[in-house]
Amino acid sequence: MTDTILDVQDLRKYFPVKKGFFRRHVGDVKAVDGVSFTVDRGETLGLVGESGCGKTTTGRSVLRAIEPTSGSIRFFENGKDPVDVTQLTKAGMRHLRQKMQMIFQDPYASLNPRMTVEEIVKEPLFCFGVGTARERRERVGELLQVVGLDPKYMSRYPHTFSGGQRQRIGIARALALHPDLIVADEAVSALDVSVQAQVLNLILELQNQFHLTYIFIAHDIGVVDHICDRVAVMYIGKMVEVAGTKSLFRSPKHPYTEALLSAVPRPNPHYELKRMVLEGEVVDPAHRPSGCAFHPRCRYADGLCAAETPAMETVPQEDSRGSHAVACHHFKELQLKGVFR
Ligand code: SF4
């Protein structure tokens, strides 16, 4: 039996567009437009897509770091009835914030340069009144050890650390209150490739050690390969494909996923590398194309694609249990290229 920790239904986040002297409401940027998904306890769900597809807005809406326009976000705290995050009062949100934390993209910008590492990591403990001053200091030492940093450097400032070390400090801060769910927003994007691997390994180790659940947001689909159990691909505010990582990489069913996968470097030199270059920019979410939003850039598009929005259909995964969901009129006829894993 699966144990769901998060159930998001029909989540929308619209940003109003206002114009003129009287700031008339003339439209909406539909950053997230009817997204539904669930996350099981202990699972890592990857959210991928180009910049502007709505993945970060989805992650922030789940934590209510920004207010969703509509939809439900049910969080199942261990052994308790679910709470709808969108309906919680300030006091309710305060309790929940201990259970849901975030790792930020930019380790240079997300740490206050005027605070020491000790102050940064113990800030959540202080805000929630956890422990005495001495206990908090001891907890900071423990957390730094857990993320692979020497506690003797806790009195240093962030600028004395490398990018990878700073991200470890950010991870220590996220772990301080024993969260159940962590939204990692482009957690390794700003790091060098070799450091990326170390931080990804740390994220995996911590998941095993503390039974964490992750929503892992990345624009680079190659990064989610080793860390995610399932991957959801987003395009202009909607999910277009959701499947187990292996199934999605081996046999993608949406042309957008195929194009993203074609950019993943392959370790096999005999494998023919043919990158599909997507023509044009990601469409402005304020002016979504008719029908399938991907049709202006899709090599398989026809008249039906421009006229009708494809519904999400679910089929069994080919090589493992679970389901593979895709929103494409022609997924049954297309033979798309994946990445052999
Ligand atoms: Fe391409 Fe048409 Fe499928 Fe959209 S519905 S992804 S345009 S084939």
In the chain the domains, ranked by start, together with CATH numbers, are: 4-89+218-326 (3.40.50.300)
Sequence-separated (6 or more) residues with CB below 8 Å from residue 108: 158, 163, 166, 190
Structure tokens at 262: 């074609």
Quick one: pLDDT band at residue 109, thresholds 50, 70, 90?
confident
Tell me the mean pLDDT in the region 111-116.
92
Which atom of ligand 1 is closest in space to residue 331's alpha carbon?
3
Phi, psi of 218 (to 5 degrees): -155, 145
Give distance in angstroms: CA of 315 to centre of ligand 1: 17
Q: What is the pLDDT of residue 141?
A: 95
Give distance in angstroms: CA of 293 to centre of ligand 1: 8
The 10s digit of each residue's pLDDT in 316-325 is: 887 667 889 9
Give yes or no for a contact between 127 and 97, defined as CB atoms under 8 angstroms apart.
no
Instruction: Kindly list the protein residues whose Cβ atom lies closer than 6 A to any atom of ligand 1.
Output: 254-255, 292, 294-295, 298, 300-301, 305, 310, 328-330
Q: What is the pLDDT of residue 54?
A: 92
The 10s digit of each residue's pLDDT in 239-259 is: 999 999 999 999 999 999 999
Tell me the mean pLDDT in the region 319-340.
87
Please check the confidence at residue 136 and state whether its pLDDT lies above 60. Answer: yes
The more confident residue out of 224 and 269 is 224
Give yes or no for a contact between 110 and 65, defined as CB atoms under 8 angstroms apart.
no
Please check the confidence at residue 73 and state whether its pLDDT lies above 80. Answer: yes
Phi, psi of 34 (to 5 degrees): 85, 50
- Tell me the best of 299, 328, 332, 334 to mutate to test the pocket of ligand 1, counting ligand atoms within 8 Å of each CB and taking the most: 328
Give yes or no for a contact between 234 and 45, defined as CB atoms under 8 angstroms apart.
no
Give distance in angstroms: CA of 294 to centre of ligand 1: 6
3-state helix, strand, coil in the chain (%, to 5): 35, 25, 45
Please check the confidence at residue 75 and state whether its pLDDT lies above 60. Answer: yes
Q: Which residues pair with residue 217 across a beta bridge? A: 47, 185
Q: Quick count: other Cβ atoms within 10 Å of Cβ 125? A: 20
Give distance in angstroms: CA of 310 to centre of ligand 1: 8
Kindly tell me the sign of the dihedral angle through the C-alpha atoms of 230, 182, 282, 314.
positive
Distance between CA atoms of 215 and 184, rounded to whole angstroms? 6
For the chain, the average pLDDT equals 89
Q: What is the pTM of this model?
A: 0.91
The 10s digit of each residue's pLDDT in 266-305 is: 666 555 556 666 766 667 777 888 999 999 999 999 999 9
Nearest CA to ligand 1 atom 3: 328
Please check the confidence at residue 88 and state whether its pLDDT lies above 70. Answer: yes
Please check the confidence at residue 174 and state whether its pLDDT lies above 90. Answer: yes
